[in-house]
Amino acid sequence: MAAEAPSPAAARVVVTERRYLSRQTRRTIAFYTFIAPWLAGFLLLGLGPMLIGFLASLTNYNGVNLDTLQFVGLRNYERIFTADRDLGLAVSRTILWTMLNVPIWLVASFILALILDQAVRARGFFRTVFYLPSILPIVAIVWAWRVMLGQNNGLLNGILSITRGAPVAEIWLGGNNAIYSLTVISVWAGLGSGMIIFLAGLQGIPESLKEAARIDGAGAWRVIRHVTMPLMTPVIFFQLILSIIGSLQQFTIPMILAGGQLGSRPPDSTYLYMIHVNLQTFASQRFGYGMALIWVMFVVIILLTVIVFWTARYWVYYEADIK
């Protein structure tokens, strides 16, 4: 402020004014100054591109040339629902994949957390081992699973060969199996972080509540069913939403498995929606169309989130005074 002041007199006025700014005004200025990097980033790198993406979805933009750019109205959106041969495949695979991944991950990590919430030995050891895969970079994870599930050099086929007494060359990472392998890899990589979050939730449940139920004669299962589960529903709810959103956007594992280039096309079994988006945008250079696909996905995710939030009133248990 002082740097812009034209004369010492004016500067003095600014200084006196500042002294009379109320404490609250000064704090408000400080607050907005402090959050400015984030707010600017959100507007310029988040909201801005988002809107540009939407505008691009109304054009034939190819991602490179602006001279050939034409406004095409809703034609890209029309095309999605009428003329995209691969779309049906992408949508059905994405739904199947999400329906496999979300429940398996959610139930498995919840059960692990329940187990570790008991008085088991070496709890710290198990916690560390379970979390370890979550820290590994995705490319390394994919390589590890390539030699687990590979056709000619995989451990699984190796073990099956021994048990069957003849060479087994099942294609786990391709054909119809690919989507199940993808689920295994994804659950493997995410089990630990899910377990950690559920475990923290479980440890926040007051022992007195469980004790009270036990004194009333409830067995272990009924304590879980009628005390633990209801109190855990807010955590389950949050994890459910995040894992649905994450699953719908999956593309990295199939893309790396397919060769790890922008144009790599995985087997039909794992031809997920976001892979379709990437291929359309980068390999086919239909940027405008890719953006339309993305906005359809965005709206679907928002709708799904709203629906899950709406169902929350029937199964999520909020009672402030228990915590």
Give residues with Cβ within 8 angstroms of 121, minimum separation 6: none
21 binds another protein (CB under 8 A): no
Q: Which is nearer to another protein, 194 or 267 (CB)?
A: 194
Binding mask 177-216 for another protein (x = CB under 8 A): -----------x-xxxxx-xx--x--------------x-
212-241 residues near another protein, rule: CB under 8 A: 215, 219-220, 235, 238-239, 241
Q: In the chain, where does DSSP find H-type helix?
A: 8-20, 23-41, 48-56, 75-82, 87-116, 123-135, 138-149, 155-164, 178-203, 207-215, 220-223, 229-248, 252-257, 273-278, 287-315
27-46 residues near another protein, rule: CB under 8 A: 27-28, 30-32, 34-35, 37-42, 44-46
Tell which residue, 10, 181, 154, has the closest CA to residue 97: 181
**Cα separation, 61 vs 68, whole angstroms:** 8
Tell which residue, 23, 57, 120, has the closest CA to residue 293: 57
132 binds another protein (CB under 8 A): yes
Minimum CB–partner distance for residue 108 and another protein (Å): 8
306 binds another protein (CB under 8 A): no
277 binds another protein (CB under 8 A): yes
Size of the site for another protein (CB under 8 A): 100
70-89 residues near another protein, rule: CB under 8 A: none
Select the residue interacting with another protein from 79, 84, 95, 158 (CB under 8 A). Answer: 158
**Cα separation, 39 vs 243, whole angstroms:** 27
107 binds another protein (CB under 8 A): no
Q: How far is CA 112 from CA 93, 96, 155, in A?
A: 28, 24, 26
Q: Which is nearer to another protein, 267 or 290 (CB)?
A: 290
3 binds another protein (CB under 8 A): no
